[in-house]
Structures are given as C-alpha cells and as structure tokens.
Amino acid sequence: MLIKRSPNGIELPFSSEITPRAVYEGRRDFIRQLAVGAIGSAALMEMAQREAFAQGVRPKLAGKLNPAYSALDKPTPYKDATSYNNFYEFGTDKSEPAMYAGSLKTHPWTVGIEGEVKKPMTLDLDSLLKLAPLEERVYRLRCVEGWSMVIPWVGYSFSEIMKKVEPTSNAKYVEFISLADKKQMPGVGSRVLDWPYTEGLRIDEAAHPLALLTLGMYGEVLPNQNGAPVRMVLPWKYGFKSAKSIVKIRFVREQPRTSWNLSAPNEYGFYSNVNPEVDHPRWSQASERRIGEDGFLARKRKTLMFNGYADVAPLYAGMDLKKFY
Amino acid sequence: MAVQLTARQLGWLKGALFVLALLPLARMVVLTVTGQLVEPLEFITRGTGDWTLYLLTVTLAITPLRRLTGWNWLVKLRRMAGLYVFFYGLLHFLTFLWFDHFFDVQEMWKDVLKRPFITVGFIAFVLLIPLAVTSTNGMMRRMGGKAWQRLHQLIYLIAPLAVLHFWWMKAGKHLLGQPILFAGIFGGLLLFRLRGKFAKAAKLA
C-alpha cells in the first residue's frame, strides 16, 4: 500500500503530481485579471473568483478508509485521473472534460429519487453528504476501451439511499439519469448519444455494498470532469456504467434503456460486467493497460473477471454472461 | 498560369516537404518523451493512423491539382508523398504489433482475422508494400511504364480500404464526421480522374 493512512482518511503523497491544478489556477487567474483589468466590473470579478474556487481549490472531503473494499494496487496519479476522462457531455476527446467541465455549476444541486419507492424525495448535496458516514475506497476502474486506473473514491454504499427511500416490491431496476444542460455542457449538442445520459442496474446489483454513491476522490470533492457533484462507481462493471453528475434516480419495474446500449447494442450490453472472456467486437477484453504504470516496455496486464471483484459473482449465478454481456 | 520551377527550386521544395512530413512524428516523440501525454500509446496509434490518411489525401490530390493548374512539376513530389503514406502506415502497423500485442505475432494474426476493421486496415497496409518497393526509378524501368502504372492503381483499392478501416473504427460511437469527410474527398478525387479518362476516350472516338 503506497498511501498513508490517517484517522480520517488518507494523506496523499501526490502533491508533486498535482501540476494541472496549477495550470487550472493559472487559467482562472488570467480570467480574473481579465475581469478586473480590462472590464473592471465587480460582478465579473466575483464571478471569476467563484469560478476559481469551483475548479482551482477543491474542498477536502475525507472518508474513513474501508480496507475491506480497498484494492492494494498503486493509485493512479491524480493528474492522470483528472485529465484523461470519458465524459461525453463535455466532448468526445479524453482531454476535453478537463478543459470544458469548468462551466458545470455543481451548487446548488439536487437529486430527485422517485418511482417505485415508499418515500420519494429530493435530496440536496448537504443531505447527500450527511446521509451516511463517508468511506474511502480504493477501487480499480476498468474502461471498456481497454485501459484501467486505480482511484481512491469517497462515498457510501448506494444501499444507504435505498434504506431511506424504501423501494417497493415492484422496483426491479434502478435508473440513473445524468444532467444534460447544453448551456453548461458543450458536448450535449452532439448526436453521439441520446441525452440525457442514462444508466441502469438490476435492483440487487444496486443493493450490493460495492456499488458506491460517490461524492469525492483523492480526499477532495469530485472534480467536475470526474462527474461532480455526485456519481455512481461500480468497480466490477466497465466505467461507462457508472453514471456521472446524477440529477435523477428512478426505481422502475422494467429494465431501463441505457445510453450506450441504445447507441450500439452489439457493443455495449445492459450488464457490461468486466469480463475477459467476452470480447468487444472491435477488440479483446482479455487484457488492459494501467494508465500511468504500463508503458512501452510492458505487455498489457490480464483483465480479471468482474475486474477482480469476485464478491459480485453470486448476483449472476446461472446466467450466461456471454449472452448477457 | 503555369508556374515553372528550376531544378534547384524543386530540390528545395522537396527538402522542405521531406522535413514537413516528419513534423507530426517529431511532435509525437517530443510529447511522449517530455511526459505530456497521459496515454502516449493511444496517442501514437491514432496519430500515425491519422497521418497515413492525411498523406494519402495529399498523394491522391497531386494529379488532379496538376491537371487543374498545369503545374507539371507537382508530379515530382508524388513519390515522396506516397512513400510517406507507407512510412506512417508502417508506423501505425508497428504500434498495433507493439502496443496491442507486444510483438506476439500469433496473437496479432488472431486479431487480424477476427476483427473486420483490423482485417481491412491490414490488407490496406500489405497492399502498400509492393507500391513502396517499386517506387524507385530502377524498378519503374524494369517493370515498364504500363505494368508499373497498373500496379500502382492499387491505390484506388487501398484508399477505400483505409477509409473503411477508419469508418468501422469510429462507427461504434457514431463519430462518422471524419470518415465521411475522407470518403468524400477520396470519392471526389477519383471522380475527377474518371471524368478525365472519359473525356480522353470521347476525344479519341
């Protein structure tokens, strides 16, 4: 384990690797100077400062390390995890979310929880933060594209939400809907996917303790490009199953129609569990490249069934995972 | 107006183009060595593929451009452009063999045979090899102009295969803007040539 533990979370040995934030701050400084110098408007300056706060200095968000759910892999450098992202609402290139997600306003933010539940509710961020004790979990993240990272997330099991809203016996699936606001998200104008981005889980998958409702990473609140202010993290599934910037959670009777499955059903199934034996039509899923670690001189590393999270295997007992990919 | 070039000017132009066409590779190397890329292997794989297509466009545009402008010296740049298509195509293939399969040729073959988008890309690359090999003056003489020309018409098979490779690669995410653009450009350049052929045939008749 390369991260130091402390009573309220971890202390990160990465301070030298956080340069992109300096770049960010530099850019925000520039905007601020522009606002002050060229225009001199107090309102603009205030806006620029608020922006600087939003992206430059990220508030701390500590969680108690949960060793049972923490991988021993070396965490991916913060810089890589925050500058190499798939978040199509901000563009299809992996560098674009870090460039453009600054326009996302994460305050105020509410998540509506509705559908087949006894107690539908709308939760703001404060309520979400207080809903259950925050934990830190170091999860492997396997992208369907064949690369992987290791990220210390901060959040709690999604089952805590379920306890609060009390799904009825009709609730067979959970649907997660992301924000789709063209004004804040330049990529939403594109026709790559049907917006809003929609993901889903079977109810027993959602109830599995590994399914993490996530509010932070690396001991800080989520950066916008990583799905701020609230997202799911499902480490045994390909990354795209973990919806970002969630505004609505619906408990439903039927299997939800999920964005990537609608877009290319032969490539992205509803389950999309990490499975080295089921190829993507255009590439093998048997191996992966760990970002920041595996380079030119290494063969790709083997991908593990369920990304190494064998705990979830009973959820799929008796299912043909080649058919339900 | 037909611009004429002296041998010296043409030499300079060739030198400049030679350096210019190496810049994309230089950029990839610099960005990689200075650690500015999160995932250099992906960047290089895509970059070499993109530049193969760009230079293929340049190569195919030379003859139409020459006809339109009357700048006959343009044809003297065609061999270098074509060889650069092969050069970036070779690098692209090597990134696939290296980064994807770490030189495991057997695994590579499996991939080539199993995945249509790789199959067509691989065929396009293999077909470039005889063109590169026969690009010298000596080979041209030995083969005779007619046979040489017939062989080099393979480019009209290679170009659509390359676009198909790119198209299928992008199709999963419906990002077809660029593939459509390349298909349009290649189609347009091909039509221009066919029109020229028909015009010639009509004149003879």
Say if residue A224 is exposed, middle or buried (CB neighbours under 10 Å; 0-12, 13-18, 19+). Answer: buried
Q: How many CB atoms lie within 10 A of CB B109?
A: 12
Token readout for A147 is 């690369």
When pLDDT is cut at 50, 70 and 90, the band that residue A55 belongs to is low
Say how far residue A270 (Cα) sits from the centre of its chain: 18
Q: Which range among A20-24, B61-65, B82-86 has the greatest average pLDDT? A: B82-86
Q: What average pLDDT is seen over chain B?
A: 92
Closest Cα in chain B to A290? B39
pLDDT for res B1: 53
**Are A298 and B38 an interchain contact pair (Cβ–Cβ within 8 Å)?**
no
Q: What is the percentage of chain A residues whose pLDDT exceeds 90?
A: 76
pLDDT for res A213: 98
pLDDT for res B181: 93
The answer to whether B29 faces chain A, any CB pair under 8 Å, is no
Chain A CB contacts of B172 under 8 Å are 264, 267, 281-282
Q: Which of A85, A89, A103 is nearest to A196 (CA)?
A: A89
**pLDDT per position as a tens digit, B91-142:** 999 999 999 999 999 999 999 999 999 999 999 999 999 999 999 999 999 9
Choose the weakest-confidence range: A33-37, A78-82, A245-249, A313-317. A33-37
* Strand-strand pairing, A198-202 and A212-217: unpaired
pLDDT for res A245: 98
Q: Which of A241, A205, A88, A121 is nearest to B175 (CA)?
A: A88
Tell me how far apart the alpha carbons of residues A91 and A85 are, in angstroms, rounded to a whole number.
10
**Are B115 and A80 an interchain contact pair (Cβ–Cβ within 8 Å)?**
no
Q: Is a pLDDT exceeding 70 seen at residue A91?
A: yes
Which of A282, A287, A297 best tests the B interface by mutation, with the highest count of B CBs <10 A?
A282
pTM of the model: 0.83
Interface of B with A in 84-103 (CB under 8 A): 98-100, 102
pLDDT for res A52: 41
Q: Structural domain boundaries of chain A?
A: 17-57, 58-316
Q: Which of A194, A107, A73 is nearest to B174 (CA)?
A: A194
The answer to whether A302 faces chain B, any CB pair under 8 Å, is no
**pLDDT per position as a tens digit, A114-137:** 999 999 999 999 999 999 999 999
B188: distance to nearest CA of chain A, Å? Answer: 26
Mean pLDDT, rounded, for A21-42: 42
Chain B CB contacts of A264 under 8 Å are 172-174
pLDDT for res A9: 43
pLDDT for res B195: 83
Q: Is a pLDDT exceeding 60 seen at residue A61?
A: yes
pLDDT for res A37: 39
A273: distance to nearest CA of chain B, Å? Answer: 18
Q: What angle do CA B85, B91, B94 make, to 5 degrees?
A: 140
Q: Is a pLDDT exceeding 70 seen at residue B11?
A: yes
Q: Give me the phi and psi of A258, to 5 degrees please.
A: -95, 155
In CATH, the architecture of A58-316 is Alpha-Beta Complex (3.90)
Chain A CB contacts of B42 under 8 Å are 147
Token readout for A22 is 């300096």
Query: Which one is predicted more confidently, A57 or A125?
Result: A125
Q: Reduced to 3 states, what is the DSSP secondary structure of residue B3?
A: coil
**Are A291 and B38 an interchain contact pair (Cβ–Cβ within 8 Å)?**
yes
Q: Give me the phi and psi of A84, to 5 degrees please.
A: -130, 85
The answer to whether B43 faces chain A, any CB pair under 8 Å, is no
Q: What is the percentage of chain B residues whose pLDDT exceeds 90?
A: 82
Chain B CB contacts of A301 under 8 Å are none
> CB neighbours of B108 closer than 8 A, spacing ≥ 6?
B96, B97, B100, B101
Q: What is the percentage of chain B residues whose pLDDT exceeds 70?
A: 98
Q: Is a pLDDT exceeding 80 seen at residue B202?
A: no
Q: What are the Cα distances from residue A174, in Å, to A87, A141, A212?
A: 21, 21, 14
Q: What average pLDDT is seen over chain A?
A: 87
